[in-house]
Amino acid sequence: MTSPTKASAITTLAPETLHNWIAEHRDLIVIDVRSAAEFESMHIRGSYNVPLPLLSEHTDELAARLGSRVVLVCQSGARAEQARQRLGASGIEGAHVLTGGVPGFVAAGGDVVRGKDRWDLERQVRLAAGSLVVLGMVGGKFISPKIRVLTGAIGVGLTFSAATDTCAMGKALSAMPWNKATKEPTRESAILQLPAPEAGIAA
């Protein structure tokens, strides 16, 4: 583990490079920070699922189990970057964020494991936000002008989400029954079961 003597720069990794690293580096650890349901639907073969909320709660403990070659993965790169920043504060300065997330890796011909087909969380957020905006506009026109407040509230929420790099709607949607995996990761199953740094990527 590197020393947290200076702030780490954003370090991205192309899907093609990750494809090569998986074949070449036994010390590689790929951490998928998406929800368990998203991971269950499709994930990079050999990656470990540590959802962002769990990683945020046990950052120091996770950092202590990581070696020098770490790649963080999500759907688009946004959650992976949040994870990189948290790990950077705990001394992991060399973590890479996969450009384009899992879809980008698939497009580059990477090996993935597929399961039950689900919409990813970011797509669900777009659907929910868009639907609420339409509801506010239509309701404001045909029912009551007061309903237009809903449209403004969604706009404020999205602005706050962008400014703080958080997503309350995504967090709420992740708790919905259809977004629950067969088995949700825990500290014991997701973090304490990670191999020692020299053990490399899982089979």
Residue extents of the structural domains in the chain: 12-118+182-199, 121-178
What residue type is assigned to position 67 of the chain? G
pLDDT band (50, 70, 90) for residue 124 = confident
Give the pLDDT score at 1.
41
Q: Say yes or no to pLDDT of 51 above 90.
A: yes
| pLDDT higher at 71 or 151 | 71
Average pLDDT over residues 134-145: 86
> Closest Cα partner for 89 from 5, 167, 192?
5
Average pLDDT over residues 12-34: 94
Q: Say yes or no to pLDDT of 202 above 60.
A: no
- 9 burial level (CB within 10 Å; 0-12, 13-18, 19+): exposed
Q: Is the CATH code 3.40.250.10 the one for domain 12-118+182-199?
A: yes
pTM over 0.85: no
Average pLDDT over residues 137-157: 85
| pLDDT higher at 78 or 169 | 78
Terminal CA-CA length for the chain: 23
Residue 29 backbone phi and psi in degrees, to 5:
-125, 125
Q: CA 16 → CA 55, 95, 107, 149, distances in Å?
A: 26, 17, 10, 46
**Helix intervals (H) in the chain:** 15-24, 36-41, 52-57, 59-63, 78-89, 101-107, 121-142, 149-164, 168-174
Distance between CA 161 and CA 155 in Å, rounded?
10
Give the pLDDT score at 10.
56
